[in-house]
Structure 1
Amino acid sequence: MSAALEHLRLMAGNNAYANEHLHEACCQLSSEEFAAPRTGFFPSLRETLNHIWEVDRYYLDALQEQGRGLSVFETPHLSTAEALREAQKEVDAQLCGFCAALCEADLAREVPHDRGEHGEFRESVASTLLHLFQHQIHHRGQAHAMLSGTGVEPPQLDEFFLKFDRHPSALKHL
Protein backbone atom coordinates (compact mmCIF):
# COMPACT_ATOMS: atom_id res chain seq x y z
CA MET A 1 0.00 0.00 0.00
CA SER A 2 1.30 3.44 -0.86
CA ALA A 3 2.04 6.03 1.80
CA ALA A 4 -0.75 8.21 0.39
CA LEU A 5 -3.37 5.47 0.71
CA GLU A 6 -2.19 4.60 4.20
CA HIS A 7 -2.31 8.26 5.22
CA LEU A 8 -5.86 8.76 3.95
CA ARG A 9 -7.05 5.61 5.70
CA LEU A 10 -5.41 6.76 8.94
CA MET A 11 -7.02 10.19 8.55
CA ALA A 12 -10.43 8.56 8.14
CA GLY A 13 -9.83 6.53 11.30
CA ASN A 14 -8.62 9.59 13.19
CA ASN A 15 -11.65 11.50 11.99
CA ALA A 16 -14.02 8.83 13.32
CA TYR A 17 -12.11 8.58 16.61
CA ALA A 18 -12.07 12.33 17.22
CA ASN A 19 -15.74 12.74 16.28
CA GLU A 20 -16.73 9.89 18.57
CA HIS A 21 -14.98 11.41 21.58
CA LEU A 22 -16.15 14.94 20.90
CA HIS A 23 -19.75 13.77 20.51
CA GLU A 24 -19.57 11.68 23.68
CA ALA A 25 -18.53 14.79 25.59
CA CYS A 26 -21.30 16.87 24.02
CA CYS A 27 -23.86 14.23 25.00
CA GLN A 28 -23.05 15.03 28.64
CA LEU A 29 -24.41 18.56 28.18
CA SER A 30 -28.02 19.49 28.80
CA SER A 31 -29.98 20.33 25.67
CA GLU A 32 -29.88 24.00 26.74
CA GLU A 33 -26.07 23.96 27.08
CA PHE A 34 -25.72 22.19 23.75
CA ALA A 35 -27.76 24.87 21.97
CA ALA A 36 -26.46 27.82 24.03
CA PRO A 37 -24.85 30.74 22.16
CA ARG A 38 -21.06 30.47 22.12
CA THR A 39 -18.21 32.20 20.37
CA GLY A 40 -17.14 30.47 17.18
CA PHE A 41 -17.67 30.40 13.45
CA PHE A 42 -21.12 28.94 14.15
CA PRO A 43 -23.12 30.24 17.13
CA SER A 44 -23.40 27.03 19.18
CA LEU A 45 -22.06 23.54 19.60
CA ARG A 46 -25.28 22.22 18.05
CA GLU A 47 -24.84 24.35 14.92
CA THR A 48 -21.13 23.57 14.64
CA LEU A 49 -21.68 19.81 14.82
CA ASN A 50 -24.60 20.02 12.39
CA HIS A 51 -22.33 21.87 9.97
CA ILE A 52 -19.64 19.19 10.23
CA TRP A 53 -22.25 16.48 9.64
CA GLU A 54 -23.83 18.15 6.63
CA VAL A 55 -20.53 19.02 4.95
CA ASP A 56 -19.29 15.46 5.48
CA ARG A 57 -22.43 14.22 3.75
CA TYR A 58 -21.87 16.68 0.88
CA TYR A 59 -18.29 15.55 0.23
CA LEU A 60 -19.08 11.86 0.74
CA ASP A 61 -21.86 12.26 -1.83
CA ALA A 62 -19.33 13.74 -4.27
CA LEU A 63 -16.76 11.02 -3.54
CA GLN A 64 -19.31 8.27 -4.09
CA GLU A 65 -20.75 10.09 -7.11
CA GLN A 66 -24.29 9.74 -5.81
CA GLY A 67 -25.48 12.94 -7.47
CA ARG A 68 -27.37 14.57 -4.60
CA GLY A 69 -25.00 17.54 -4.57
CA LEU A 70 -26.18 20.61 -2.70
CA SER A 71 -29.53 18.98 -1.90
CA VAL A 72 -27.84 17.29 1.09
CA PHE A 73 -28.02 20.71 2.77
CA GLU A 74 -31.83 20.57 2.61
CA THR A 75 -31.89 17.95 5.38
CA PRO A 76 -33.15 19.58 8.58
CA HIS A 77 -30.57 20.10 11.31
CA LEU A 78 -30.64 17.62 14.15
CA SER A 79 -31.56 19.11 17.51
CA THR A 80 -29.94 16.81 20.06
CA ALA A 81 -26.37 15.77 20.74
CA GLU A 82 -27.46 12.13 20.78
CA ALA A 83 -29.07 12.33 17.34
CA LEU A 84 -26.00 14.06 15.94
CA ARG A 85 -23.67 11.49 17.53
CA GLU A 86 -25.52 8.63 15.81
CA ALA A 87 -25.76 10.44 12.46
CA GLN A 88 -22.08 11.38 12.52
CA LYS A 89 -21.10 7.84 13.47
CA GLU A 90 -22.94 6.54 10.39
CA VAL A 91 -21.23 9.02 8.05
CA ASP A 92 -17.83 8.30 9.63
CA ALA A 93 -18.31 4.56 9.07
CA GLN A 94 -19.16 5.23 5.41
CA LEU A 95 -16.08 7.42 5.05
CA CYS A 96 -13.82 4.79 6.65
CA GLY A 97 -15.30 2.17 4.33
CA PHE A 98 -14.78 4.40 1.30
CA CYS A 99 -11.12 4.99 2.22
CA ALA A 100 -10.53 1.31 2.97
CA ALA A 101 -11.77 0.39 -0.51
CA LEU A 102 -9.56 2.89 -2.35
CA CYS A 103 -6.79 1.75 -4.64
CA GLU A 104 -3.89 3.86 -5.88
CA ALA A 105 -5.61 4.72 -9.19
CA ASP A 106 -8.64 6.10 -7.34
CA LEU A 107 -6.64 8.96 -5.82
CA ALA A 108 -6.28 10.82 -9.13
CA ARG A 109 -9.83 10.05 -10.28
CA GLU A 110 -11.88 13.23 -10.52
CA VAL A 111 -15.35 13.42 -9.02
CA PRO A 112 -18.03 16.09 -9.59
CA HIS A 113 -18.75 18.74 -6.97
CA ASP A 114 -22.06 20.57 -7.29
CA ARG A 115 -21.34 24.27 -6.70
CA GLY A 116 -24.84 25.54 -7.42
CA GLU A 117 -24.88 28.69 -9.53
CA HIS A 118 -21.14 28.25 -10.17
CA GLY A 119 -21.77 24.91 -11.87
CA GLU A 120 -20.05 21.59 -11.45
CA PHE A 121 -16.37 21.39 -10.64
CA ARG A 122 -14.27 18.27 -10.76
CA GLU A 123 -11.71 17.54 -8.07
CA SER A 124 -9.53 14.51 -7.45
CA VAL A 125 -10.54 12.00 -4.81
CA ALA A 126 -7.28 12.69 -2.96
CA SER A 127 -7.82 16.47 -2.89
CA THR A 128 -11.45 16.06 -1.86
CA LEU A 129 -10.48 13.79 1.04
CA LEU A 130 -7.71 16.13 2.18
CA HIS A 131 -10.15 19.04 2.11
CA LEU A 132 -12.79 17.06 4.01
CA PHE A 133 -10.32 16.09 6.75
CA GLN A 134 -9.00 19.66 7.04
CA HIS A 135 -12.57 20.95 7.29
CA GLN A 136 -13.32 18.46 10.05
CA ILE A 137 -10.19 19.35 12.04
CA HIS A 138 -10.91 23.07 11.72
CA HIS A 139 -14.48 22.90 13.01
CA ARG A 140 -13.80 20.21 15.62
CA GLY A 141 -11.20 22.58 17.07
CA GLN A 142 -13.85 25.27 17.33
CA ALA A 143 -16.27 22.85 18.99
CA HIS A 144 -13.50 21.77 21.36
CA ALA A 145 -12.94 25.40 22.36
CA MET A 146 -16.70 25.93 22.84
CA LEU A 147 -16.84 22.86 25.05
CA SER A 148 -14.13 24.42 27.21
CA GLY A 149 -16.71 27.02 28.24
CA THR A 150 -18.97 24.36 29.77
CA GLY A 151 -18.72 22.11 32.79
CA VAL A 152 -17.73 19.16 30.57
CA GLU A 153 -14.02 18.62 30.10
CA PRO A 154 -13.06 18.61 26.41
CA PRO A 155 -11.68 15.21 25.37
CA GLN A 156 -8.12 14.58 24.24
CA LEU A 157 -8.42 14.35 20.46
CA ASP A 158 -4.82 14.29 19.27
CA GLU A 159 -3.63 10.94 20.62
CA PHE A 160 -4.11 8.78 17.57
CA PHE A 161 -1.16 8.53 15.21
CA LEU A 162 1.79 7.79 17.50
CA LYS A 163 1.76 4.37 19.15
CA PHE A 164 3.23 5.91 22.30
CA ASP A 165 0.29 8.33 22.69
CA ARG A 166 -2.47 6.28 21.12
CA HIS A 167 -5.57 5.89 23.23
CA PRO A 168 -6.64 2.21 23.33
CA SER A 169 -10.06 3.02 21.85
CA ALA A 170 -8.35 4.42 18.73
CA LEU A 171 -7.37 0.90 17.70
CA LYS A 172 -10.91 0.06 16.61
CA HIS A 173 -10.64 2.78 13.95
CA LEU A 174 -7.45 1.40 12.39
Structure 2
Amino acid sequence: MPDYDPLRSVRKLAYNNALANVRLYRACTALKPGEFEAARVSFFPSIKATLNHNLTVDWFYVDALEGGSLGLQAFEVDEPYDRLDDLSWEQAEVDRRLVAFCEALTPEEALRVIDIQRSGRIQRERADDVLNHLFQHQTHHRGQVHAMLAGTSVAPPQLDEFVVADDAQFRGAELAALGWDEIKLMR
Protein backbone atom coordinates (compact mmCIF):
# COMPACT_ATOMS: atom_id res chain seq x y z
CA MET A 1 0.00 0.00 0.00
CA PRO A 2 1.42 3.42 -0.95
CA ASP A 3 2.39 5.94 1.68
CA TYR A 4 -0.15 8.58 2.56
CA ASP A 5 0.55 11.88 0.79
CA PRO A 6 -1.00 14.75 2.79
CA LEU A 7 -0.70 17.14 -0.16
CA ARG A 8 -2.25 14.96 -2.86
CA SER A 9 -5.64 16.62 -2.34
CA VAL A 10 -4.10 20.07 -2.69
CA ARG A 11 -2.44 19.11 -6.00
CA LYS A 12 -5.67 17.53 -7.25
CA LEU A 13 -7.62 20.67 -6.39
CA ALA A 14 -5.08 22.76 -8.32
CA TYR A 15 -5.43 20.42 -11.30
CA ASN A 16 -9.22 20.52 -10.98
CA ASN A 17 -9.12 24.31 -10.91
CA ALA A 18 -7.10 24.53 -14.13
CA LEU A 19 -9.12 21.82 -15.91
CA ALA A 20 -12.46 23.39 -14.97
CA ASN A 21 -11.23 26.80 -16.15
CA VAL A 22 -10.19 25.32 -19.52
CA ARG A 23 -13.65 23.84 -19.97
CA LEU A 24 -15.49 26.96 -18.77
CA TYR A 25 -13.47 29.32 -20.97
CA ARG A 26 -13.92 27.01 -23.97
CA ALA A 27 -17.69 27.22 -23.45
CA CYS A 28 -17.49 31.00 -23.24
CA THR A 29 -15.69 31.20 -26.60
CA ALA A 30 -18.93 29.95 -28.19
CA LEU A 31 -20.97 32.86 -26.84
CA LYS A 32 -22.70 35.06 -29.39
CA PRO A 33 -21.58 38.69 -29.68
CA GLY A 34 -22.72 40.68 -26.66
CA GLU A 35 -23.46 37.68 -24.41
CA PHE A 36 -20.08 37.84 -22.62
CA GLU A 37 -20.70 41.42 -21.47
CA ALA A 38 -24.48 41.26 -21.10
CA ALA A 39 -26.03 42.20 -17.76
CA ARG A 40 -27.05 39.13 -15.79
CA VAL A 41 -28.38 38.29 -12.33
CA SER A 42 -25.53 37.24 -10.05
CA PHE A 43 -23.10 38.64 -7.51
CA PHE A 44 -21.16 40.25 -10.36
CA PRO A 45 -23.30 41.68 -13.15
CA SER A 46 -21.90 39.70 -16.12
CA ILE A 47 -19.86 36.70 -17.17
CA LYS A 48 -17.07 39.11 -18.08
CA ALA A 49 -17.10 40.76 -14.64
CA THR A 50 -17.19 37.43 -12.80
CA LEU A 51 -14.30 35.93 -14.76
CA ASN A 52 -12.26 39.11 -14.32
CA HIS A 53 -12.94 38.95 -10.57
CA ASN A 54 -11.73 35.35 -10.39
CA LEU A 55 -8.57 36.35 -12.22
CA THR A 56 -7.71 39.31 -9.99
CA VAL A 57 -8.36 37.29 -6.83
CA ASP A 58 -6.09 34.56 -8.20
CA TRP A 59 -3.38 37.12 -8.89
CA PHE A 60 -3.72 38.41 -5.33
CA TYR A 61 -3.55 35.07 -3.52
CA VAL A 62 -1.13 33.22 -5.79
CA ASP A 63 1.30 36.12 -5.54
CA ALA A 64 0.99 36.08 -1.73
CA LEU A 65 1.58 32.32 -1.67
CA GLU A 66 4.68 32.80 -3.83
CA GLY A 67 5.97 35.49 -1.44
CA GLY A 68 5.47 38.30 -3.94
CA SER A 69 4.63 41.92 -3.37
CA LEU A 70 1.68 42.52 -5.73
CA GLY A 71 -0.78 42.88 -2.87
CA LEU A 72 -3.76 45.16 -3.40
CA GLN A 73 -2.41 46.29 -6.78
CA ALA A 74 -4.12 43.16 -8.10
CA PHE A 75 -7.42 45.01 -7.67
CA GLU A 76 -6.48 48.41 -9.14
CA VAL A 77 -8.63 47.68 -12.19
CA ASP A 78 -11.94 45.90 -11.55
CA GLU A 79 -12.07 44.36 -15.00
CA PRO A 80 -8.58 44.35 -16.48
CA TYR A 81 -9.63 42.46 -19.63
CA ASP A 82 -12.43 43.29 -22.03
CA ARG A 83 -11.65 40.47 -24.44
CA LEU A 84 -12.26 36.83 -23.58
CA ASP A 85 -9.11 35.60 -25.35
CA ASP A 86 -6.88 37.91 -23.29
CA LEU A 87 -8.71 37.00 -20.09
CA SER A 88 -8.45 33.30 -20.91
CA TRP A 89 -4.70 33.53 -21.53
CA GLU A 90 -4.11 35.36 -18.24
CA GLN A 91 -6.26 32.88 -16.31
CA ALA A 92 -4.33 29.96 -17.81
CA GLU A 93 -1.07 31.64 -16.80
CA VAL A 94 -2.06 32.09 -13.16
CA ASP A 95 -3.48 28.55 -13.15
CA ARG A 96 -0.04 27.29 -14.27
CA ARG A 97 1.58 29.20 -11.41
CA LEU A 98 -0.89 27.77 -8.90
CA VAL A 99 -0.33 24.21 -10.14
CA ALA A 100 3.45 24.69 -9.98
CA PHE A 101 3.17 26.05 -6.44
CA CYS A 102 1.05 23.09 -5.32
CA GLU A 103 3.32 20.55 -7.03
CA ALA A 104 6.34 21.95 -5.21
CA LEU A 105 4.57 22.30 -1.86
CA THR A 106 5.94 20.26 1.04
CA PRO A 107 4.07 19.47 4.26
CA GLU A 108 6.31 21.94 6.10
CA GLU A 109 5.67 24.70 3.55
CA ALA A 110 1.92 24.06 3.73
CA LEU A 111 2.11 25.08 7.40
CA ARG A 112 4.11 28.23 6.62
CA VAL A 113 2.39 31.46 7.59
CA ILE A 114 2.10 33.85 4.68
CA ASP A 115 1.48 37.57 4.70
CA ILE A 116 -1.53 38.88 2.82
CA GLN A 117 -1.77 42.63 2.31
CA ARG A 118 -5.11 44.08 3.33
CA SER A 119 -6.21 47.70 3.59
CA GLY A 120 -4.31 49.05 6.60
CA ARG A 121 -3.08 45.67 7.87
CA ILE A 122 -1.31 42.43 7.10
CA GLN A 123 -3.36 39.26 7.37
CA ARG A 124 -1.31 36.22 8.41
CA GLU A 125 -2.59 32.78 7.40
CA ARG A 126 -1.24 29.28 6.89
CA ALA A 127 -0.54 28.47 3.24
CA ASP A 128 -2.84 25.42 3.28
CA ASP A 129 -5.72 27.53 4.60
CA VAL A 130 -5.16 30.14 1.89
CA LEU A 131 -5.15 27.40 -0.75
CA ASN A 132 -8.42 25.98 0.57
CA HIS A 133 -9.96 29.45 0.53
CA LEU A 134 -8.75 30.09 -3.01
CA PHE A 135 -10.10 26.80 -4.36
CA GLN A 136 -13.46 27.45 -2.71
CA HIS A 137 -13.54 30.98 -4.13
CA GLN A 138 -12.86 29.75 -7.65
CA THR A 139 -15.49 27.01 -7.41
CA HIS A 140 -18.06 29.48 -6.08
CA HIS A 141 -17.64 31.97 -8.92
CA ARG A 142 -17.27 29.33 -11.65
CA GLY A 143 -20.66 28.10 -10.45
CA GLN A 144 -22.08 31.57 -10.93
CA VAL A 145 -20.72 31.73 -14.49
CA HIS A 146 -22.13 28.25 -15.08
CA ALA A 147 -25.57 29.49 -14.00
CA MET A 148 -25.25 32.63 -16.14
CA LEU A 149 -24.41 30.51 -19.18
CA ALA A 150 -27.83 28.88 -18.83
CA GLY A 151 -29.29 32.21 -19.97
CA THR A 152 -27.15 32.34 -23.13
CA SER A 153 -26.93 30.48 -26.41
CA VAL A 154 -24.28 28.17 -24.86
CA ALA A 155 -25.12 25.19 -22.69
CA PRO A 156 -23.27 25.27 -19.36
CA PRO A 157 -20.43 22.71 -19.41
CA GLN A 158 -19.94 19.90 -16.90
CA LEU A 159 -17.36 21.21 -14.42
CA ASP A 160 -16.91 18.38 -11.94
CA GLU A 161 -15.23 15.57 -13.89
CA PHE A 162 -11.67 16.14 -12.85
CA VAL A 163 -10.89 14.51 -9.51
CA VAL A 164 -11.88 10.84 -9.55
CA ALA A 165 -10.22 8.25 -11.81
CA ASP A 166 -13.53 7.02 -13.22
CA ASP A 167 -14.06 10.38 -14.97
CA ALA A 168 -10.94 9.98 -17.14
CA GLN A 169 -13.10 9.27 -20.18
CA PHE A 170 -14.59 12.78 -19.98
CA ARG A 171 -11.51 14.98 -19.54
CA GLY A 172 -9.20 14.09 -22.42
CA ALA A 173 -9.65 17.36 -24.31
CA GLU A 174 -8.82 19.45 -21.26
CA LEU A 175 -5.78 17.32 -20.38
CA ALA A 176 -4.53 17.67 -23.94
CA ALA A 177 -5.05 21.46 -23.85
CA LEU A 178 -2.83 21.62 -20.76
CA GLY A 179 -0.28 19.09 -22.01
CA TRP A 180 -1.07 16.74 -19.13
CA ASP A 181 -1.85 13.06 -18.93
CA GLU A 182 -3.78 10.82 -16.54
CA ILE A 183 -0.59 9.79 -14.72
CA LYS A 184 0.01 13.40 -13.68
CA LEU A 185 -3.57 13.82 -12.58
CA MET A 186 -3.80 10.63 -10.55
CA ARG A 187 -0.48 10.60 -8.72
State the TM-score, normalizing by the size of structure 1: 0.94
2:71 paired residue number: 69
Q: Distance between the aligned counterparts of 1:31 and 1:92, measured in 2?
A: 27
Shift of the 106–2 alpha-carbon distance from structure 1 to 2, 3 Å rule, reads farther
Q: Distance between the aligned counterparts of 2:5 and 2:163, measured in 1?
A: 14
Structure 2's unaligned 5+ residue stretches are: none
C-alpha distance after superposition, 1:23-43 (max 9, x if no partner): 111111134110000111000
2:43 paired residue number: 41
1:158 paired residue number: 160
Q: 1 or 2, which has the higher helix percentage?
A: 1
Residue pairs, 1:3-152, within 5 angstroms: 3-75=5-77, 77-117=80-120, 119-152=121-154
Q: Distance between the aligned counterparts of 1:3 and 1:149, measured in 2?
A: 42
Q: CA deviation at 1:131?
A: 0.2
Instruction: Return 157-166 or 127-136, whichever deviates more.
Output: 157-166
One-letter amino acid of the structure 2 residue matched with residue 95 of structure 1: L
Q: CA deviation at 1:170?
A: 5.1
Residue 123 of structure 2 aligns to a residue whose secondary structure is strand
One-letter amino acid of the structure 2 residue matched with residue 113 of structure 1: I
CA RMSD, 1 decimal: 1.5
Residue 169 of structure 2 is aligned to residue 168 of structure 1 = no
State the TM-score, normalizing by the size of structure 2: 0.88
Residue 139 of structure 2 aligns to a residue whose secondary structure is helix
Q: Distance between the aligned counterparts of 1:108 and 1:158, measured in 2?
A: 28
Q: Distance between the aligned counterparts of 1:153 and 1:123, measured in 2?
A: 38
Aligned residues: 173
User: Is the Cα–Cα contact under 8 Å of residues 22 and 174 in structure 2 kept in the other structure?
Assistant: no
Q: Distance between the aligned counterparts of 2:62 and 2:17, measured in 1?
A: 13
Residue 152 of structure 2 aligns to a residue whose secondary structure is coil
Q: CA deviation at 1:4?
A: 2.9
Structure 1's unaligned 5+ residue stretches are: none
Q: Distance between the aligned counterparts of 1:17 and 1:70, measured in 2?
A: 27
Q: Distance between the aligned counterparts of 1:104 and 1:115, measured in 2?
A: 26
Q: Distance between the aligned counterparts of 1:31 and 1:64, measured in 2?
A: 37
One-letter amino acid of the structure 2 residue matched with residue 165 of structure 1: D
Residue 162 of structure 2 aligns to a residue whose secondary structure is coil
Shift of the 57–2 alpha-carbon distance from structure 1 to 2, 3 Å rule, reads farther
User: Is the Cα–Cα contact under 8 Å of residues 31 and 80 in structure 1 kept in the other structure?
Assistant: no
Q: CA deviation at 1:16?
A: 0.1
Instruction: State percent identity of aligned pairs.
Output: 45
